[in-house]
Amino acid sequence: MTELEQNVKKVLSTVNGRATVLAATKTVAPERINLIYDMGIHTIGENRVQELLEKYDALDRDGVSKSFTREEVANVLEPRVEEIAEAIHDAVKGSGVRLGNWSVAYLTGGGLAINRGGRDFLSAKLDRPVRELPRKTGKLSSPVYTSVLGLLDLIIDTLVNANANRGVRAFFNNLFGG
């Protein structure tokens, strides 16, 4: 058994399936990467795109997981986030409903809600406040719940602005049809 085989065997037995072993492949030839893949390490990481591209075709890629740099991810995600923000903006604008700048958009979890800066980015693109709903249960994060919450928030904000100088009593009278 070679030293490489002994080291890979030792690492895999120590981890014992409780974690993913990532092989950093900087300056490592594709043939050697293929060897460790055959030994059981199926996740490789390369921090330079150019080096990965040079090796990629020579790798036995079945089942290999790839890692990507922040820049690579940003190059893919940023245009998609722009598209999402534009689609939301166009849908609100094309709906025929006039919303004031105080009308809030809600994020319901996943997507932009879990990405750092997503809420602020969307708020800037939509030119309105964006709030993230707390994800306490699956039901409360559903699109239906969010739509109802957004509508209720719009109604309350409208009534508050309409009754800003008339007081709390006028607000509740209008809210409940009194």
Contact status, residue 92 vs residue 67, Cβ threshold 8 Å: no
Write the DSSP assignment of 80-123 as a string of letters: HHHHHHHHHHHHHHHT-----TTPPEEE-SSGGGGSTTHHHHHH
Angle 41-46-52 (CA atoms, 0-180°, nearest 5)?
A: 105
CA dist., res. 41 & res. 142, Å (int): 39
Is the Cα dihedral 32, 35, 40, 44 positive or negative?
A: positive
Write the DSSP assignment of the chain as a string of letters: --HHHHHHHHHHHHHTTSS--EEE-TT--HHHHHHHHHHT--EEE-S-HHHHHHHHTTS--TT-EE---HHHHHHHHHHHHHHHHHHHHHHHHHT-----TTPPEEE-SSGGGGSTTHHHHHHHHHTS-EEE---SSTGGGSHHHHHHHHHHHHHHHHHHHHTTTT-HHHHHHHHTT-
Is residue 113's pLDDT more than 80? no
Q: What's the mean pLDDT in 93-121?
A: 74
Greater confidence (135 vs 128) lies with 128
pTM (2 d.p.): 0.42
CA dist., res. 111 & res. 20, Å (int): 25
Of residues 84, 141, 80, the one with CA closest to residue 109: 141
Q: What's the mean pLDDT in 8-26?
A: 85
**pLDDT tens by residue, 30-68:** 888 888 888 888 887 776 666 777 777 777 666 555 666
- pLDDT of the residue at 20: 84
Contact status, residue 108 vs residue 130, Cβ threshold 8 Å: no
